[in-house]
Structure 1
Amino acid sequence: MKRSGFRRSPRSQPPGGWALDGRSPSLGYLRTSGDAAGFGPSVGSFRLTPVPRKAAPAPDYRSILSISDEAARVRALNEHLSTRSYVQGFSLSQADVDAFRQLSGPPADAQLFHVARWFRHVAAILGSPRAPAPPCGLQAMTQLCSLPGRQRPAHAAPVVSSSRVRAVPTPPVQQPDPEEEEKFSFRQYYIFTVEKLERPDNQKEKAHSPDVTLLDSDQILSSVCLAVPPHPRLWRSYISFDILRRVLRDYFKFDVFYCMNITDIDDKIIKRARQNYLFEQYREKQPQAVQLLEDVHAALQPFSAKLRETSDPDKRQMLERLERAVRLAAEPLEEPARRGLAGEELDGRVQVLLEEAKDLLSDWLDSMHGSEVSDNSIFSKLPKFWEAEFHKDMEALNVLPPDVLTRVSEYVPEIVDFVRKIVDNGYGYVSNGSVYFDTVKFANSEGHCYGKLVPEAVGDQKALQEGEGDLSISAERLSEKRSPSDFALWKASKPGEPSWPCPWGKGRPGWHIECSAMAGTLLGASMDLHGGGFDLRFPHHDNELAQSEAYFENDCWVRYFLHTGHLTIAGCKMSKSLKNFITIKDALKKHSARQLRLAFLTHSWKDALDYSADSMEAALRLEKLLNEFFLNVKDLLRAPVEVAGQFEKWEDKETELNKSFCDKKAAVHEALCDNVDTRTVMEEMRALVGQCNHYMAARKAARRRPNRALLESIARYLTHMLKIFGAIEEESSLGFPVGGPGTSLNLEPTVMPYLQVLSEFREGVRRVAREHRVPEVLQLSDALRDDILPELGVRFEDHEGLPTVVKLVDRDTLLREREEKKRAEEEKRRKKEEAARKRQEQEAARLAKMKVPPSEMFLSESDKYSKFDENGLPTHDTEGKELSKGQAKKLKKLFEAQEKLHQEYLQLVQNGSVP
């Protein structure tokens, strides 16, 4: 059963039709059938096929319906639905209808969101005027598509998130006439939801990437969008979205318009920029040892209090390590400072303490002087620097640049207008100079729903406060809200924060509003795709949805969310306390961008990915497998052959391989249609290469030439797919280019003719050397192959009775292979020597045992026996008791065995075999 990575939001259940609700095990999953060839403006018809599964039993509402008080009945119903709506999925039953008819309307209490969601579902299906059907239903879209010449409205698409896809069968909808369908200029098969996508108003496919929050290299964030410089949590999203974007654009031929937001105004950015500025000012004053120690001890007091209050074990471990490092750095200064000593050595210790105590002093300085920082340029310097670093890292990873890039600092006027309209529409309110979004009013308004992506998280105060930012969760700030779930659209600036004029006084944008305003300005009232990490679903993306739909007064600002899975480091979450925090620059020192991308391609973009030595080793093996196949095909194509000989008669082996090729292409296409399942794609490509290698080996064993045209077709197809995925950066007609990343020159056609001449000359020299028995020449020939050419990125492969195979390979790869070969040979030699040593030890032990006369073998065991007979056999134990007959018999057998061994030893001595 294939998985699909998008889940319809709680409010998007259509009035009948094919429902998309990711968690139902009861009714199966959506699959496609039909002709999938071609992805132009008109692609033919597709149908949705339900995969039947055992239906879930109808709910039992009898005990709930017997409750006379409606408020109590609704609370009981909410408790019941909390275990049904989100876990088992929703399918309408008569019990639902009976319970629905007993309610006077949807609950007003926002905490009863399970009942609210259930009420809207039932109302949509029954067509009740109390709760009109949401405009995003798939049934409605299908009906519109079935009417010739009818354009699907902009809102007719579901808001979905990463999960499984469930199919709920309803009466069939009349399919459009194929000839009429050809007239629709923007009907395309939409790969994620098994439905045709018509882009309204002749628009492009609009994609909105996750935001980039620009902080410095030490910052690890989970509550804001993403951190810079990029670390594994960031490349997971950006490499994955780059792959998805390329597949949409280059495989399915969508016209993608890609927008990326840069967050350069944010609570954490403000605080870190302020701290950096204050610390640099402090450093420039060149504090003396006594003053520095005094300040460090003062800063340690609030820091120690913070440490005592920290409950998170990883964070606590990190703070303890920082405190320990500061105290160790301060200790060498204590005595010299008391004695008033000075000198270069003391100055060096001062610099060490300054560096170790930077974070601690920065917090302390900010708490005392942060409100005095007022220059806006101080807050822009930090994000500008890290934005440049971010773009360098993305280029190094071969991530395509966005079509448009927006920065919060450049869109403040648009954000102010956006907030003003939300207030005018009745969904925002001003409080003490700040503007907040009224989540309760929005949730209770007709046609809207708050918490679409993660409804069960609504009311999670910890998540909501993290979403508001460190500078916005004081008791004073929280008291300004009508409801704890409300969030800031515009924040009144306090001293020490950047500010911009607006109708409500000087302030700055809230975190969530920036995305809505910037994306809304460029993409309009709706967008097709919105990307982000899994942990951004709530509150960030849910709040984005709410405020944007409040602004546009619609219910489908985003049609589809793409949430990438978590990334772990060697099985652990990335954390400073675990010392597993690495940057992209660090990663690229160990592995190439292609190898990193191959590692990502072999995992589903929506599932967790573990960045570890094992996962990267698997990526290296895959790269080597593909590259060796390409090199072998290139060598085959370079072999001289007549024009007519390029096309040979196919036999059973060729027919079988071609059938497998066709099957694999179909499987790759099906996998890409199934939520861009690159993991399955890479498995199919790996299997295809394996079959080609088996075919070539069989032909080689039979001394027959493989079919050039067939293998070239397969190699070009694989090259094409790898280009689509971004694993091949430069122009290359076949396989991985040799010119190296970032170069436009393809070395192969230029260099290969010369290498071929060298190879043929070397073969001739080796042949003559063998005939005339000149081993020195053969040794020089081997040195050329093993030591000299690899330094130039050239590999010669000698095969008995066959021409030498010439391959151009990346120099670093060849050198790494050479070192691995040397290590393997050294390991083999070491194991051989170890085995010989063990054999010698065993032989020495055996001879030593044989050397002992049987009459003496038990005499040394005085801890077991006290008396012996004339032959040396024990007769009594240590307590003086006579041994039993069984014990004596056993010892007699050992005595006789030793007697034989000793006789063998004496024979060996007599023969001179033993010195």
Structure 2
Amino acid sequence: MESKKRSQPSWSPPQGSTVPTLHLYNSLTRQKEPFVPQDGKQVKWYGCGPTVYDASHMGHARSYISFDILRRVLTHYFNYDVTYVMNITDIDDKIIKRGRTNYLIEEYIKKTSCPKQVLKDAKEAMEPFECKMAKEENPDKKEMYKNIICKSKAAIETLDGVLNGEKVPIEQLEKPKQGVLVAARDPLCDWLDAQHGHEVSDKSIFSTLTQHWENEYHKDMDSINVLPADVLTRVSEYVPEIVTYVQQIIDNGFAYESNGSVYFSTTKFDSDPDHHYAKLVPEAFGNQAALQEGEGDLSICSLGEKRSQNDFALWKASKPGEPEWDSPWGKGRPGWHIECSVMASSLLGSSMDIHTGGYDLRFPHHDNELAQAEAHYANDNWVRYFLHAGHLTIAGCKMSKSLKNFITIKDALEKYSSRQIRFVFLLHSWKDTLDYSTDTMEIAKAFEKMINEFFLNIKDILRNTPSSGVAAFEKWTSLEINLNEQYLACKTKVHEALCDSIDTKTALDAMRTVVGQCNIYIQERKTAKQTPNRMLLQNIGVYLTKILRIFGAIEGDEPLGFPIAGSTQNGNLEETVMPYLNVLATFRDQTRQTARTLKATEILNLCDNLRDEVLPDLGVRLEDREGEAARVKLEDKETLLKERELVRKQAEEKQRKKDEAKRKEAEKQAAKEAQKRIPPSEMFRKETDKYSKFDDKGMPTHDASGKELSGKQVKKLTKLYQNQEKLHNEYLKSSRNHGANGDGACAANS
């Protein structure tokens, strides 16, 4: 027995607990699936990029920021090795149409100076545009066309009225002429394109347009902190690869040439036992409106050119006024859907892990991408996980360039910071519809303010407590033990949320909860006149900073909190200036205390001015605390200036309301005094619209039509008469007393 005790006992590992694993919502199954990359930790990812013919708007930001967040989480939280490829669509029907119409309208404005000609052309352009509206089935587009027509007609009527009126100087016609050119730009562009689009021979207008807007796109992405793709592809650089790819699909029996174009045979593909057309949205199969929109406005094929209405173009024979490239089928250009299939395949091969894009791209674009690629490779797994970002709506309507109801990213950044915009998306599921409004932005701003105040308060505690040595470590009480449990629970909830299809909303809710618990803890320690535990709060602050940095809400490498403007890789601004600011704050505290003792109001005003006017201009917030030293916080200067302006406006509004109430009260009293001066015998006589006859006392006896008043009416008027009589007598008595007092004063003076 003793020898047994002298050897180590047997050991059993703990049971442990189930650790959640990453699941992603997969549009291919419409449910959350375990994420299993095909090659260990390597993830091959393709994202649909912009069609560059106009400014990037918040609807685009919805996809780009959402997928930027997912990419960062996969890379920096789950430690996957992600290769992210994104395309730029620089060959497309919309680009061709926009390039031509921009050119044609500019040329038209240069050559057409006569207001009468502009009026005639605008009227002529309205007819086909109204026909276009009548045929439109999309209710949102129909409403947009109605608004354009309404504004156009109003501008046309204004110019028409001026031209048909008296003879006016030519300079007075310029403004209404410009009004027509602006309001009726879309009808004029369509009209000009129909007449002269085929005559456009300068193909550089298309590349000039796309290069400009691609450059603007990159600037916008930088401004909202979206990471650049590892590889960026442009359609114009992949035309040879597209031709080869299309030929392979023809060789495999799933495409055919017709009149110089090449079409994908959806019937042949779908009837093949190894393939399935419209995997993402099978219920949309045969939706002609969606299919035609996917083909583009310029791609109206001749009757009989396609074997089936459901077939779509892989290669389009170019018409006059369109860019063109050589191919075995004649000069032409790529179809929209084939572009992504080829570019993604060229870099990621026959099967990728993740493909992303906007929700509205599911059918037909992404379903057609899948069909083309799987027809090319003769496989059924070109994409393993398809992720789609939800719509961004404005006032309940989808934000879209084609609907002209978009807010550009630049416009949004005029009102809100990049971080606030990112918080809006973090506070909502990436796959659900989000309505962009002042209310949703205010929620994001409130979250940012809450978390920033927490970071600033933690920094203040860290600056004012020992950072090393014996004094830096204190015994934990039940308060610290409880807070630490809440902190660990927060980390668990964040991890579970991120495993649950990267649910950032739930993760931020958990972070909000632990911040609230930290604030309660700090207040409890403060009430007990004890110092909060430095190490525990620092750990929590550093963890929250790490998660927000992973989400892309914090830039830079500072371990705690949001970066301070002016900090660089060569130096931390906060560490540099804070000792000096603390000296200033202490001196100001002492000065205020002395000024209070001496009741030196001017000195107190100077101290307030330093806090309210001088320091905010430097990005410094000073918070006075009764019985404690003032708290110093470094903040973003623009944020402080906006806060100061808001306080000023609120104070001005408060004063305005106070002055308004005072004015109304004065008017009320003046009206009351004026009413007293009216003798009761005169009070009704001016109301000839109500009464026609009066008795000797001035009381009405008949109404305006000559009808005698009823007893009930007379009783009511008598009451008013008696009340006025009482008020008037008070006025007369007051006047007599005032006169008597005045006479007495005169007698005394004499």
Residue matched to 2:746? none
Q: Distance in 2 between matches of 1:856 and 1:704?
A: 78
Q: Distance in 2 between matches of 1:200 and 1:626?
A: 38
Q: Distance in 2 between matches of 1:723 and 1:158?
A: 24
Q: Which one scores higher on RCO, CA 8 angstroms, separation ≥ 6?
A: 2
Task: Note if 1:739 corresponds to 2:606.
Answer: no
Residue matched to 1:210? 48
Is the Cα contact below 8 Å between 1:330 and 1:353 reproduced in 2? no
Is the Cα contact below 8 Å between 2:25 and 2:387 reproduced in 1? no
Alignment counterpart, residue 222 of structure 2, candidates 368, 383, 395: 395
Is the Cα contact below 8 Å between 2:458 and 2:537 reproduced in 1? yes
Is the Cα contact below 8 Å between 1:867 and 1:874 reproduced in 2? yes
Question: Deviation per CA, 1:871-891, whole angstroms, max 9, x where unpaired?
Answer: x9999999688789xx999x9
Is the Cα contact below 8 Å between 1:533 and 1:563 reproduced in 2? yes
Task: Note if 1:258 corresponds to 2:84.
Answer: yes
Q: Distance in 1 between matches of 2:594 and 2:586?
A: 13
Alignment counterpart, residue 417 of structure 1, candidates 244, 262, 270: 244
Residue matched to 1:591? 416
1:308 Cα deviation from its structure 2 partner:
3.6
Is the Cα contact below 8 Å between 1:730 and 1:744 reproduced in 2? no
The equivalences for 1:636-655 within 5 A come to 636-641=461-466, 643-655=469-481
Residue matched to 2:614? 788
Residue matched to 2:155? 325
Question: Deviation per CA, 1:271-303, whole angstroms, max 9, x where unpaired?
Answer: 2222333444455xx42534x743662464244
Q: What's the secondary structure of 1:270's corresponding residue?
A: helix
Residue matched to 1:89? none
1:763 Cα deviation from its structure 2 partner:
1.9
Q: What's the secondary structure of 2:353's corresponding residue?
A: strand
1:699 Cα deviation from its structure 2 partner:
2.6
Task: Note if 1:453 corresponds to 2:280.
Answer: yes
Residue matched to 1:531? 356
Residue matched to 1:306? 129
Higher alpha-carbon deviation: 725-734 or 371-380: 371-380
Task: Note if 1:825 corresponds to 2:651.
Answer: yes
Q: Distance in 2 between matches of 1:700 and 1:911?
A: 64
Q: Distance in 2 between matches of 1:204 and 1:744?
A: 34
Residue matched to 2:8? none
Q: What's the secondary structure of 1:212's corresponding residue?
A: coil
- CA RMSD in angstroms, aligned pairs only: 4.3
Q: Distance in 1 between matches of 2:235 and 2:568?
A: 31
Mark the CA change 1:677 to 1:524 in structure 2 (over 3 Å): closer, same or farther. Answer: same
Residue matched to 2:584? 758
Q: Distance in 1 between matches of 2:90 and 2:273?
A: 35
Q: What's the secondary structure of 1:481's corresponding residue?
A: coil
Task: Note if 1:316 corresponds to 2:183.
Answer: no
Q: Which amino acid aligns with 1:489?
A: L
Mark the CA change 1:824 to 1:302 in structure 2 (over 3 Å): closer, same or farther. Answer: closer
Alignment counterpart, residue 232 of structure 1, candidates 39, 58, 70: 58
Alignment counterpart, residue 429 of structure 2, candidates 586, 592, 604: 604
Q: Which amino acid aligns with 2:27?
A: V
1:401 Cα deviation from its structure 2 partner:
0.1
Is the Cα contact below 8 Å between 2:50 and 2:88 reproduced in 1? yes
1:622 Cα deviation from its structure 2 partner:
1.4
Alignment counterpart, residue 371 of structure 1, candidates 186, 190, 198: 198
Gaps of 5+ in 1: 1-32, 38-42, 49-156, 166-191, 218-228
Q: Distance in 1 between matches of 2:199 and 2:710?
A: 96
Mark the CA change 1:882 to 1:36 in structure 2 (over 3 Å): closer, same or farther. Answer: closer
Alignment counterpart, residue 693 of structure 1, candidates 505, 514, 519: 519
Mark the CA change 1:703 to 1:533 in structure 2 (over 3 Å): closer, same or farther. Answer: same
User: How much identity, in percent, do the aligned residues show?
Assistant: 53
Alignment counterpart, residue 491 of structure 1, candidates 312, 316, 340: 316
Q: What's the secondary structure of 1:241's corresponding residue?
A: helix
Task: Note if 1:702 corresponds to 2:536.
Answer: no
Higher alpha-carbon deviation: 430-439 or 327-336: 327-336
Q: What's the secondary structure of 1:213's corresponding residue?
A: coil
Higher helix share: 2
1:749 Cα deviation from its structure 2 partner:
1.4
1:433 Cα deviation from its structure 2 partner:
1.4
Q: What's the secondary structure of 2:256's corresponding residue?
A: strand
Residue matched to 2:99? 273
Residue matched to 2:446? 621
Gaps of 5+ in 2: 1-15, 135-141, 743-750
Residue matched to 2:9? none
1:410 Cα deviation from its structure 2 partner:
0.6
Residue matched to 2:486? 660
1:806 Cα deviation from its structure 2 partner:
0.4
1:711 Cα deviation from its structure 2 partner:
1.4
The equivalences for 1:709-724 within 5 A come to 709-724=535-550
Q: Which amino acid aligns with 1:509?
A: P
Q: Which amino acid aligns with 2:129?
A: K
Q: Distance in 2 between matches of 1:659 and 1:640?
A: 23
Residue matched to 1:160? 27
Q: Distance in 2 between matches of 1:750 and 1:371?
A: 65
1:395 Cα deviation from its structure 2 partner:
0.5
Higher alpha-carbon deviation: 838-847 or 618-627: 838-847
Mark the CA change 1:299 to 1:816 in structure 2 (over 3 Å): closer, same or farther. Answer: closer
Is the Cα contact below 8 Å between 1:512 and 1:540 reproduced in 2? yes
Q: Distance in 2 between matches of 1:236 and 1:717?
A: 26
Mark the CA change 1:427 to 1:842 in structure 2 (over 3 Å): closer, same or farther. Answer: same
Number of corresponding residues: 714
Q: Which amino acid aligns with 1:444?
A: S
Residue matched to 1:224? none
Question: Deviation per CA, 1:645-668, whole angstroms, max 9, x where unpaired?
Answer: 222222222222222222222112
Is the Cα contact below 8 Å between 2:295 and 2:336 reproduced in 1? yes
Alignment counterpart, residue 430 of structure 1, candidates 234, 245, 257: 257
Is the Cα contact below 8 Å between 2:101 and 2:193 reproduced in 1? yes
Residue matched to 2:117? 294
Q: Distance in 2 between matches of 1:748 and 1:594?
A: 20
Is the Cα contact below 8 Å between 1:375 and 1:498 reproduced in 2? no
Q: Distance in 2 between matches of 1:833 and 1:370?
A: 63
Is the Cα contact below 8 Å between 1:738 and 1:808 reproduced in 2? yes
Is the Cα contact below 8 Å between 1:564 and 1:605 reproduced in 2? yes
Q: What's the secondary structure of 1:624's corresponding residue?
A: helix
Is the Cα contact below 8 Å between 2:465 and 2:534 reproduced in 1? no
Q: What's the secondary structure of 1:687's corresponding residue?
A: helix
Q: Distance in 2 between matches of 1:593 and 1:637?
A: 28
Task: Note if 1:472 corresponds to 2:302.
Answer: no
Q: Which amino acid aligns with 1:36?
A: V
Is the Cα contact below 8 Å between 1:791 and 1:815 reproduced in 2? yes
Task: Note if 1:200 corresponds to 2:34.
Answer: no
TM-score (norm 2): 0.84
Q: What's the secondary structure of 1:310's corresponding residue?
A: helix
Q: Distance in 2 between matches of 1:741 and 1:314?
A: 47
Q: Distance in 2 between matches of 1:242 and 1:456?
A: 30
Q: Which amino acid aligns with 2:96?
A: I
Q: Distance in 2 between matches of 1:666 and 1:882?
A: 82
Q: Which amino acid aligns with 1:800?
A: E
Is the Cα contact below 8 Å between 1:569 and 1:611 reproduced in 2? yes
Mark the CA change 1:405 to 1:895 in structure 2 (over 3 Å): closer, same or farther. Answer: same
Residue matched to 1:547? 372
Higher alpha-carbon deviation: 436-445 or 823-832: 823-832
Q: Distance in 1 between matches of 2:160 and 2:678?
A: 68
TM-score (norm 1): 0.69
Residue matched to 2:19? 36
Q: Distance in 1 between matches of 2:570 and 2:220?
A: 20
Q: Which amino acid aligns with 1:546?
A: A
Question: Deviation per CA, 1:292-328, whole angstroms, max 9, x where unpaired?
Answer: 7436624642442221441312222223323543564
1:698 Cα deviation from its structure 2 partner:
2.9
Question: Deviation per CA, 1:341-386, whole angstroms, max 9, x where unpaired?
Answer: 98x7778887776666654444333323322334543322211111
1:708 Cα deviation from its structure 2 partner:
1.6
